[in-house]
Amino acid sequence: MVDSRAAHTLAVPFVNGGSLRSRASSGTSTEFDRLFTEEYPRVAAIANRVLADPAAAEDVAQDVFLDLHRRFGDDPGAKAPAWLHAAAVHTALNVIRTERRRSAREERSVAGPASSDDPQIAVEAAETRRAIQALLARIPRRHAMVLALRYSGLSYAEIATALGIGVNGVGTRLRRAEARLRKEIGDASI
Amino acid sequence: MHPSDGTLRRSLDEPVALDPRARRHLASCPRCEQRLTAIETDAATAFATFAAHDPSINLDAARARLAESGAATAADGAAIRRSRRPARIGTRSARASRVMAGVAVAAVASVALVVSGGAQDFLSLFQPKQFAPVPVTSADIRSLAGLASYGAIHAGSSPNIQPEPDAAAAGLAAGLTPPAVADLPSGASAAPSYAVVSGTVVSFTFNAELARAAASRAGGQLPPMPRGLGGSTLTVSIAPAVVISYGLDLAALFQGGGLPSGGTSVIVVASRTPTVSSTGVTVKQLETYLLSLPGIPATVVSEIRAIGDPTKTVPVPIPIDLASASTVDVNGASGVLVGDSTQIGSLVLWQHNGIVYAVAGTLSSNQVLGIARSLH
């Protein structure tokens, strides 16, 4: 389930609409369709910055769009992109933190689906995922969020809207997050 | 008053957002310059950490999967189904294609830039000091560009060009003092126009799986990889640049317009020297490994290895079938002059006191070199 905090950052009315399947089969185009086309790759990219796992990132993108439609229907409003960006990073961070708490499942979660038949490549990919996920799990969520959004290519204005803060605050938060990240890397040397 | 850390951080990504007062302060405050360097280093670390391939997306498959998940959820309230993954197409994104030229540069740099220090360094950061020409043929360029297929390229925000009213404003926006041209040849416009091109960051992340496939295409096998090479990243941070133009419409040029058909045009560019960092392995290890890959022309390998101290030197590939190049002296600094066998123009590139300069023009080599030496 998508983190409810994402929805709370927006105070715009959304209208419930028809089902995804009926709309897909009828071929009618809606605001939701346009949004999906424009934002789905970016939502997946944001999740991938957190998870370092393209397949898991697409799972998150699917969850986020499904939740958007469930909550707000076919015409989710002008602030929907910001909602999607925040929801993507919240949901991806939740995946890390939930899975890390479940020690029995941790190894499978961190390793993720094998992207290669070569065991050495699979081990390297798993190590990269483990290192990035461990880093993001150790730093405050507000820091992890601004890092994931910025390094997915969002502008300061877009990040400000997604996080519900002023654009001048983005630089401050990003600076603190990068300093903390640098310290964590120095301490742990991933 | 010193700008806040947040303002300094933003100035790295969005320099034009800085207000004029802060620009003036930054240009003259050593303490803020020191703070900015520390902020820049942390930003480069974060960039290298998060450099990753964006997922290849098949939108139709993703849309179909979403529709099915929505129907399943509506029918029985079940959790989102994850069993069906969309088919993935290994196409390179349009954005990635656009940065292929930058990729080639990053790949060449990854071959050639060496950093001192031990293999235990997690992150190495350095600034090259000078340039040296490396003659290459068109076939060599294709081979070197092929290095891009040994990993993933990630480019930051696309560079944009911002016109500035005068030299002072341009200098403040780019964080340096723009050079002044003392000796323009007759025929060149005497009135310069100024602009600032935003900085960007380009990284190259070595990917063992892609490398193995590329080596196979090149007709060879991947040599054994040193520990830590998989996922190692080379990051080049490019600072904003001041562009001074005599007789050229800069905005039109950046939007794909051609050079003017007649008249004399001169462009002078100045930018703080790019910084280069690596993670996973040192750049020396990356260089050694990339030079051992199949398909890299032996002559290019030999030329790059022959560069005296590559810790401080960036090789500039010169297509010898199109242009000639030589090492020249620009007021005591070693530079590269690309000659006018192209019949289009000439260019000289050098570095002095942490600033990279370039002068190019629809002129002879001697004329362009004369302008370069007249800068002050």
Is A30 or A184 the better-scoring residue by pLDDT? Answer: A184
- Using only C-alpha atoms, what is the Rg of chain A? 17
| pLDDT tier at B252, thresholds 50, 70, 90 | low
Query: Is the CB of A18 inside 8 Å of chain B's CB atoms?
Result: no
Query: Is there a domain that residue A67 lies in?
Result: yes
Query: Is there a domain that residue A184 lies in?
Result: no
| Low-confidence winner among B127-131, B134-138, B338-342 (lowest mean pLDDT) | B127-131
Query: Is there a domain that residue A166 lies in?
Result: no
pLDDT exceeds 90 at position B96: no
> Which residues of A fall within a CB distance of 8 Å from B41?
182
- Whether B112 contacts B290, CB under 8 Å: no
pLDDT exceeds 80 at position B303: no
| pLDDT tier at B361, thresholds 50, 70, 90 | confident
Mean pLDDT, rounded, for A148-154: 88
Tokens representing B244 are: 């001074």
Query: Is there a domain that residue A179 lies in?
Result: no
**Residue B200 per-residue DSSP state:** E
Mean pLDDT, chain B, integer: 70
Question: Could you count the other beta carbons within 10 Å of the beta carbon of residue B320?
Answer: 16
Q: Which residue of A has its CA nearest to B84?
A: A59
Domains and CATH numbers, chain B: 94-126+138-160+201-239+276-305 (no CATH), 170-197+240-273+322-376 (3.30.200)
pLDDT tens, B145-165? 566 677 777 766 666 788 888
Tokens representing B49 are: 């950490």
pLDDT tens, A83-118? 999 999 999 999 887 766 554 444 444 444 444 556
Is the Cα dihedral B109, B112, B118, B119 positive or negative?
A: positive
Query: Is the CB of A49 inside 8 Å of chain B's CB atoms?
Result: yes
> Which residues of B fall within a CB distance of 8 Å from A171?
4-10
Task: Verify whether the Cβ–Cβ distance A62 to B80 is below 8 Å.
Answer: yes
Q: Which residue of A has its CA nearest to B224?
A: A120
Query: Is there a domain that residue A177 lies in?
Result: no
Distance, CA of B231 to CA of A188 (rounded, Å): 17
Q: How many CB pairs under 8 A join A and B?
A: 161
Q: Which residues, at least 6 apart from B365, have a Cβ–Cβ distance to it below 8 Å? A: B337, B339, B340, B346
Query: Is the CB of A53 inside 8 Å of chain B's CB atoms?
Result: no
- Using only C-alpha atoms, what is the Rg of chain B? 23
| Amino acid of residue B86 | P
Query: What was the pLDDT predicted at B73?
Result: 56
Distance, CA of B269 to CA of B196 (rounded, Å): 9
pLDDT tens, B33-71? 889 888 888 888 888 788 666 677 888 889 888 888 766
Query: Is there a domain that residue A31 lies in?
Result: yes
Rounded to the nearest angstrom, the gap between the alpha carbon of residue B184 and the centroid of all alpha carbons in its chain is: 29
Angle between helices B298-306 and B283-291 (to 10 degrees): 150
**pTM, two decimal places:** 0.48
Is B331 or A107 the better-scoring residue by pLDDT? Answer: B331
- Whether A62 contacts B80, CB under 8 Å: yes
> How many angstroms separate the CA of residue B75 from the nearest CA in chain A?
11
- Domain containing A115: what range? 4-135
| Low-confidence winner among A64-68, B244-248, B322-326, B365-369 (lowest mean pLDDT) | B322-326
Number of domains, chain A: 1
Query: Is there a domain that residue A147 lies in?
Result: no
Mean pLDDT, rounded, for A164-183: 93
Distance, CA of B272 to CA of A134 (rounded, Å): 35
- Whether A129 contacts A57, CB under 8 Å: no
Task: Quote ipTM for the complex.
Answer: 0.79
Query: What was the pLDDT predicted at B296?
Result: 72
| Low-confidence winner among A117-121, A157-161, B109-113, B357-361 (lowest mean pLDDT) | B109-113
Query: What was the pLDDT predicted at B52?
Result: 66
Distance, CA of B269 to CA of B179 (rounded, Å): 9
Query: What was the pLDDT predicted at B202?
Result: 75
Would residue B175 be called left, alpha or beta, if left means φ above 0 and alpha means ψ between -120 and 50 degrees? left
Which run of H or E residues covers position B140?
Answer: helix B138-145
Query: What was the pLDDT predicted at B275?
Result: 73
Task: Verify whether the Cβ–Cβ distance B6 to A173 is below 8 Å.
Answer: yes
Report the range out of A15-24, B12-21, B263-272, B367-376 with the highest average pLDDT: B367-376
Distance, CA of B248 to CA of B361 (rounded, Å): 10
Task: Verify whether the Cβ–Cβ distance B6 to A37 is below 8 Å.
Answer: no
The residue ranges of DSSP E strands in chain A, in sequence order, are none
* Residue A52 main-chain phi, psi, to 5 deg: 50, 40
Query: What was the pLDDT predicted at B113?
Result: 29
- Whether B133 contacts B308, CB under 8 Å: no
Tokens representing B45 are: 């670390």
**Residue B316 per-residue DSSP state:** E
Query: Is there a domain that residue A150 lies in?
Result: no
